[in-house]
Amino acid sequence: MEQYVVSARKYRPRKFEEVVGQEGVTNTLKNAIRSGHLAHALLFCGPRGVGKTTCARILAQMINSTQEVDNFDPKSEKALDESFNVYELDAASNNSVEDIRSLVDQVRVPPQGAKYKVYIIDEVHMLSNQAFNAFLKTLEEPPGYAIFILATTEKHKIIPTILSRCQIYDFNRITIDDTVKHLEGICQTENITADPNALHIIAQKADGALRDALSLFDRLVDYSTRHLTYDSVLVNLNILDYDYYFRITDQLLTQDLTGLMLSFDEIIRKGFEGDMFIGGLADHFRNLMVARDPETIKVLEVSGILKDRYHQQGILIPMGFLLNALNLAAQCEVSFKTSRNKRLHVELAIMKMCYLPTAMQLAVNGEATKKNSSTEQVAPQPAAQKPVSQPQTDTSPNLVARPVAPTPSVVPTAQNTTDIPKPAATQTPVKSMPTTGGMGMVGGITGFSLSSAKQNKPEATKKEEEDENIPLDVIDETKLAAAWAAFKAKLGSDNKLSMQSLLERSAYRLQDGKVKLVLGNTVERDLFEGERMAFRDFIMAHMTVQRLVVEVEVDRSLAEANAPRKAFSSKEKLALMAEKNPAILKLKDNLDLKFDL
């Protein structure tokens, strides 16, 4: 029986033109040979199976060849394994100091019948530190006839002193398109029929390593008896079909939970793990997002038929759905290993994806309802100002174009409708303001300002003046305490945490039928002015009273009481301990102890 040779060896490149996907490196090496500027130490680094050792062997033959670089024919050269001027060392198994010293001894021997002697050291990162150090001097100043070619898949493991002495060439991963073209050429040579989609699957599974792609290709050709089909590749490589992901995406969009659960059960019954499924689904969503735009669809590394299919489904799916589904898939994949019931964990994730359209629609409706409610709350104010007899030219455009929406606590209710200022009264402060203060005028009308809380004070004063004819009600301290707590809770629900914290530090008391709020400093008092009328209206509504007067005063002692306690010094600690147990001072004197006070 004729000896079988695997494709990785049978179709190994013998000249630079046959190297796949490394045009940048091969063109640079050819130009260096052509111009005579080849370095004495070269480092080829990159992933496995991309052509590092192959390029090193081709280079070793070319630099000693008498042929022109562009017309180099490896068939007319002496076989590499028969050459006495090329020495290969596998550093994975020969990584000791003695191995490097033996190599250094051979460097002293000049080449036989050639111009250069080439030393190829593969997997050079496996050398020990002692071996690297023994190699340093020779690598830096070798004889003129010696050229070192080092190859590695892990450049970061090589010590910097070696890297600095080498000319570094970075090899790239082989793209899927280049791998597919190479496999198609082999199929034509070997008379093998292959589905283009099957070759794309092999190239994707190889992950940029051409040697791995050729190994998979040989195995699948033997399995499919030289008729390589898409289905046979899926079965042999245990890969989930694209059709499952397209079908599941359609079920997610139509919220077909029953069909979705049955599809996932079918995937599990075929032997696929949940993490593999959820990872593939995330990749599918990513491909759909990329395929939406014709400019980015070229990024997809799939066949032309699949690109069209991705584009057709991608334009039907909202971008918001894809982003949320990707987020759910990523969270599920991260926490998959720590989950006890892994199947249920994945099922919960796809259930959430199934109801994403409903959740997104509810969020949109909620935002619209919130926007409409805020519009209705602002609407009564322009209606109250409409009867004002004032020339049209005196009205600032800022009053209409940029209204400041009041907080819900200031919206007129059935209980405080009488507190709404009359139109004539609201226009008085506007006329006295300069025309340059657009935001100030908005604050003067609505009772709120983003720049200063003090602008609310005139409006609050007018409302209190209008209520002077209403007698003060008797305040129940129990109801007041309940209303106080309810207002603080309302501030928290409205996300006004700073104002809530301010009231937590404050105190109140009843005096002459009025509520006196005690704050720690003037800054807190000025900040509270922006919420004083809202506070008053809330307390009145909560206690069902007709009139309430809220006054604010400053008490410095309150701020000092709320200030954080300072840590005791060593001297203060000793004094406190001695106050509780005087024997401590006697012990200190008897032992002649000296503390760092």
Which top CATH class is 7-170? alpha beta
Tell me how far apart the alpha carbons of residues 548 and 595 are, in angstroms, rounded to a whole number: 60
State how far the Cα of 350 lies from the Cα of 341, in Å rounded to an integer: 15
Instruction: Give residue 43's pLDDT band: very low, low, confident or very high (50, 70, 90).
Output: very high
Half-sphere exposure of 170 (CA within 13 A, CB side): 4
Pick the more confident residue, 374 or 396. Answer: 374
> Which pLDDT value is given to residue 345?
92
pLDDT of 150 strictly over 90 = yes
Q: Which long-range contacts (CB under 8 A, 24 or more apart) does 473-477 make?
A: 473/513, 473/545, 473/546, 473/547, 473/548, 474/513, 475/510, 475/513, 475/515, 475/543, 475/545, 475/548, 476/543, 477/510
User: What is residue 262's predicted lDDT score, i.e. its pLDDT?
Assistant: 92
pLDDT at 461: 53
* pLDDT > 90? residue 149: yes
Instruction: Quick: pLDDT tens for 429-446.
Output: 433 333 333 333 333 333
For the chain, domain boundaries = 7-170, 176-237, 242-358, 407-564, 568-597
Higher pLDDT, 135 or 76: 135
Query: Which of 208-212, 360-364, 471-475 is least confident?
Result: 471-475
SS3 of 511, please? strand
Could you please state the CATH topology (level 3) that the domain comprising 242-358 is classified under.
Zinc Finger, Delta Prime; domain 3 (1.20.272)
pLDDT mean over 224-237: 83
pLDDT of 370 > 80? The answer is no
Task: Please give the pLDDT value at position 38.
Answer: 87
Q: Cα separation of 524 and 508, whole Å?
A: 14
Q: Comparing 471 with 59, which gets the higher pLDDT?
A: 59
Q: Please give the pLDDT value at position 347.
A: 92
Q: What is the model's pLDDT at position 82?
A: 58
Give the model's confidence band at 469: pLDDT under 50 very low, under 70 low, under 90 confident, else very high.
Answer: low
Asked whether residue 460 carries a pLDDT value surpassing 70, the answer given is no
pLDDT at 376: 57
> What is the pLDDT averaged over residues 81-102?
83
Instruction: Name the β-bridge partners of 122.
Output: 90
Q: Does 11 score more than 60 pLDDT? A: yes
Per-residue pLDDT at 207 exceeds 90: no
Whole-number pLDDT of residue 375: 60
Mean pLDDT of 60-85: 74
Strands (E), 183-261: 193-194, 227-228
pLDDT of residue 66: 75
Using CA atoms, how far apart are residues 464 and 550, in angstroms rounded to an integer? Answer: 10
Q: How high is the pLDDT of residue 595?
A: 64
pLDDT confidence of residue 566: 58
Looking at residue 466, its pLDDT comes to 53
Residue-level pLDDT at 409: 38
pLDDT value at position 424?
41
| Integer Cα distance of 322 and 281 in angstroms | 11
Which helix (H) or strand (E) segment is 7 a member of?
A: helix 7-10
Ranges of H-type helices in 12-158: 23-35, 52-63, 97-107, 129-140
Band (428; pLDDT cuts 50, 70, 90): very low
pLDDT value at position 596? Answer: 61
The answer to whether residue 86 scores a pLDDT higher than 90 is no
Q: What is the mean pLDDT of residues 220-231?
A: 83
User: How much is the pLDDT for 1?
Assistant: 46
Do the beta carbons of residue 109 and residue 146 sit within 8 Å? no
* Contact between 249 and 313 (Cβ < 8 Å): yes
pLDDT of residue 452: 39
Best-predicted range by mean pLDDT among 204-218, 432-446, 512-526? Answer: 204-218
Choose the CATH number for 176-237 among 3.90.1300.10, 1.10.10.10, 3.40.50.2000, 1.10.8.60.
1.10.8.60
pLDDT at position 399 over 50:
no
Say whether pLDDT at 341 is over 80: yes
Mean pLDDT (the chain, rounded): 77
For residue 486, pLDDT beyond 90: no
- Residue 485 pLDDT greater than 90, yes or no: no
What tens digit of pLDDT does each residue of 169-201 get? 999 888 888 899 999 999 998 888 888 888 888
Q: Please, are residues 56 and 151 in contact by the beta-carbon 8 Å criterion?
A: yes
User: Band of the pLDDT at 419, cuts 50, 70, 90?
Assistant: very low
For residue 452, report the phi and psi dihedrals to the nearest 5 degrees: -150, 135
In the prediction, which pLDDT does 285 show?
92
